[in-house]
Copies of this chain bind each other. A is one copy, B any other.
Amino acid sequence: MSIDIPLAAVRDDGGALAHGSDSGCNRCPLRQLPPFQPVSAEELALIEGLKRGEPEHPADALLIEEGQADGPLYTLLDGWAFSFKTLQEGRRRQILAFLLPGDFIGLQQKMDEAATHGVRTLTPVRVCSFRRDALWTLHRQAPSLGYDLTWLAAHSESSVDDNLLSVGRRSAIERVAAMLLDLHSRTSALDPSGDGRSMPFPLTQVHIADAMGLSLVHVNRTLRQLSRLGLYRTCPPGRIALPDPAALAGVAQLRWPLRVPPRPLI
């Protein structure tokens, strides 16, 4: 059994944030990375004013519970997570999207009375925690950041769209290949020093199955098949290698390379 109490056991080291040009957010290592668009000093100050801290959560922790009424608002700083929905009791969950550093968490839940999907960590994570009213304040005080929020919401859908296309219309091997490539592209963009062939991979085969609408057993067979084709290899601990991404893209019915658009970071 995992720890399922969203806010318990979380240490929040907020309150000690500097408010100057040399402040914390300005030195946020994420902002230096190529995928993220620059922001003005004013925007940065506003964001920093809404920040509450950088709590950490362990692996396999529930950040947002399905149906939760007034959940948190985060930007994922470090680690992996995923959003999911479940059908009734006991039946397997459907993973909607995998969340990587820079992804915004809780937007959807804040737009509704109750969270329509849950969010759970895959690895230990560090998040940037925002005040409960951050969404409205961002919109009101900085239209450009409000626009960015709409951007994030729209692209969050885009990611689910891709997943739905896979689950609805691709065969098992195509689905798995497409998923591996998607994660490969996104992690590569976040790690300019990477070798472009191997990547961190904290998912178990159960996660792949839950994301792709497949059974665990069949995911295993499919991965073995990709192995035999020389398109997939595990390189412990917690990493995998994709020796030939272009060929994998051929299997996935995907045009390569995948586009990773520049994106706002809030």
Residue of B nearest to A1 (CB): B113
Please, which residues of chain B bring their CB within 8 A of the CB of A110?
4, 6
Known: A96-B164, A154-B108, A167-B167. A136 touches B6 (CB 8 A): yes
Please, which residues of chain B bring their CB within 8 A of the CB of A239?
none
Please, which residues of chain B bring their CB within 8 A of the CB of A150?
107, 111, 135, 139, 146, 149-150, 153
- Residues on A close to B: CB < 8 A? 2, 4-7, 9-10, 85, 87-88, 91-94, 96, 107-108, 110-113, 116-117, 132-133, 135-136, 139-140, 143-144, 146-147, 149-151, 153-158, 160-165, 167-170, 212-213, 253, 261
Please, which residues of chain B bring their CB within 8 A of the CB of A4?
110-113
Give A260 Cβ to nearest chain B Cβ, in Å.
12
Does A160 lie within 8 Å of B154, measured CB to CB?
A: no
Does B135 lie within 8 Å of A2, measured CB to CB?
A: no
Does B157 lie within 8 Å of A91, measured CB to CB?
A: no
Please, which residues of chain B bring their CB within 8 A of the CB of A132?
5
Most B CB within 10 A of own CB, among A117, A156, A167, A261: A167
Residue of B nearest to A117 (CB): B161
Inter-chain CA distance A88–B165, complex, in Å, is: 11
Known: A87-B253, A153-B157. A147 touches B135 (CB 8 A): yes
Please, which residues of chain B bring their CB within 8 A of the CB of A94?
164-165, 168-169
Given A5-B136, A91-B169, 9 additional A-B pairs, CB 8 A: A85-B161, A85-B165, A87-B165, A87-B170, A93-B169, A135-B147, A139-B150, A153-B157, A156-B157
Inter-chain CA distance A157–B159, complex, in Å, is: 9
CB pairs A–B below 8 angstroms (29 shown)? A2-B113, A4-B112, A6-B110, A6-B136, A7-B136, A85-B161, A85-B162, A91-B253, A92-B169, A93-B169, A94-B169, A96-B161, A107-B154, A111-B150, A112-B154, A113-B261, A139-B146, A140-B143, A143-B143, A143-B146, A146-B150, A150-B150, A153-B154, A153-B157, A154-B156, A160-B161, A163-B164, A167-B213, A169-B213
Give A258 Cβ to nearest chain B Cβ, in Å.
12
Inter-chain CA distance A7–B113, complex, in Å, is: 11
Known: A111-B150, A111-B151, A161-B116. A133 touches B6 (CB 8 A): yes
